Amino acid sequence: MRIGYAGLGVMGGPMARHLITAGHDVAGYNRSPAKAQAWAEAHGGRFAGTAAEAASGAELFVLCVGNDDDVRQVVSEALAVLEPGAVIVDHTTTSARVAREMAQASQAQAVSFIDAPVSGGQAGAENGQLSVMAGGDAEALDRARPVLMAYSKAIQHMGPPGAGQLTKMVNQIAIAGVVQGLAEAVHFAQAAGLDTDRVYEAISKGAAQSWQMDNRWKTAAKGEFDFGFAVDWMRKDLGLVLDEAQANGARLALTELVDGYYAEVQAMGGGRWDTSSLKARLPAP
Ligand SMILES: NC(=O)c1ccc[n+]([C@@H]2O[C@H](COP(=O)([O-])OP(=O)(O)OC[C@H]3O[C@@H](n4cnc5c(N)ncnc54)[C@H](OP(=O)(O)O)[C@@H]3O)[C@@H](O)[C@H]2O)c1
């Protein structure tokens, strides 16, 4: 299939590479062109200097950029050249509002727009094991699904435009509380003078087990945070969550608290640290 891909960062770069490996003809575009140039040379993709160039002649246009405004900009440039019948799949984490807006603008040109945020992080993108939660036209998603499976382990259709983004918000709410719980657990173990490795062995097979515990306990205990999913991205996501909660009436006391803790981590210079850096606020006594 002829595919345009915009946003060749930590997530988009490896996702677009998987599409080439699967045998598709992929044109890659990125805001800083050097990244797109390096990606095209390394993986045998076509370099595109603009979003419109990447979208030109594409049956499928995929993006994974930064925030709402980035999506608005890239999608409007792509819509100027996409043919009727084309499908846009947006893997960026955005507001549900922008997903609905983009779906409406696309529909006006007989193009389908699917909001399709992902979970699984950098490792999931590299290994082609992402979980995709999608909103929008189910029939268009079914057409794109075999292509998207090049980097996904599961693709779930959640409902109308915006439903994918709302599901991703649920994911981030659940993560925020777990990560703060993990930070306090490690902190308490250190305050109590316990050996944190042995505590992990003792409790990680029981009811306290979580992905965060299995993947972040040891690094949090050592104060290592220079990797993983950045606090700046998490704050963007929690901002979207808290906005949406204001509109739908959900009460998110814990999420609000943890968002404030992440603001403190940013003030400590940890904007690019992994989300487990909530532990950095609670050093060993
Ligand atoms: N990293 C994760 O673990 C993870 C997991 C799930 C979801 N996400 C979400 O996925 C999205 C991307 O995350 P990421 O970690 O891949 O970020 P990233 O490494 O910063 O990649 C974003 C890429 O998009 C490009 N870009 C941004 N705005 C653009 C625009 N207006 N036009 C063209 N290109 C643009 C950036 O170009 P430049 O080179 O110029 O900056 C960058 O290469 C975010 O919404 C994030 O919340 C990330």
Q: What superfamily would CATH give domain 166-281?
A: N-(1-d-carboxylethyl)-l-norvaline Dehydrogenase; domain 2 (1.10.1040.10)
Q: What superfamily would CATH give domain 2-160?
A: NAD(P)-binding Rossmann-like Domain (3.40.50.720)
Q: Are strands 130-135 and 118-119 parallel, antiparallel or unpaired?
A: antiparallel
pTM of the model: 0.96
Residue 236 is predicted with a pLDDT of 97
Residue 168 is predicted with a pLDDT of 98
User: 30 CA to middle of ligand 1, Å?
Assistant: 9
**Hey, whose CA ends up nearest to atom 15 of ligand 1?**
10
Residues with CB under 6 A from ligand 1: 6-12, 30-32, 35, 64-66, 70, 73-74, 92-93, 118-119, 121-122, 229, 233
User: 226 in helix, strand or coil?
Assistant: coil
User: 10 CA to middle of ligand 1, Å?
Assistant: 7
Structure token digits, residue 282: 């609670």
pLDDT in tens, 111-124: 999 999 999 999 99
Using 70 as the pLDDT threshold, list the residues of the chain that sit under it.
Answer: none
Residue 88's H or E segment, with its range, is: strand 87-90
Residue 173 is predicted with a pLDDT of 98
Asked about 168 being catalytic, the answer comes back as: yes
User: 248 CA to middle of ligand 1, Å?
Assistant: 28
**Hey, whose CA ends up nearest to atom 10 of ligand 1?**
92
Helix ranges (H only) for the chain are: 12-21, 33-43, 51-55, 68-79, 96-107, 121-127, 138-148, 163-191, 196-203, 211-222, 231-248, 253-267
Is the CB of residue 115 less than 8 Å from the CB of residue 94?
A: yes
Type of residue numbered 11: M
Domain boundaries, the chain: 2-160, 166-281
Nearest atom in ligand 1 to the alpha carbon of residue 121 is 3
Residue 49 is predicted with a pLDDT of 98
Task: Choose the catalytic residue: 153, 168, 205, 222.
Answer: 168
pLDDT in tens, 14-66: 999 999 999 999 999 999 999 999 999 999 999 999 999 999 999 999 999 99
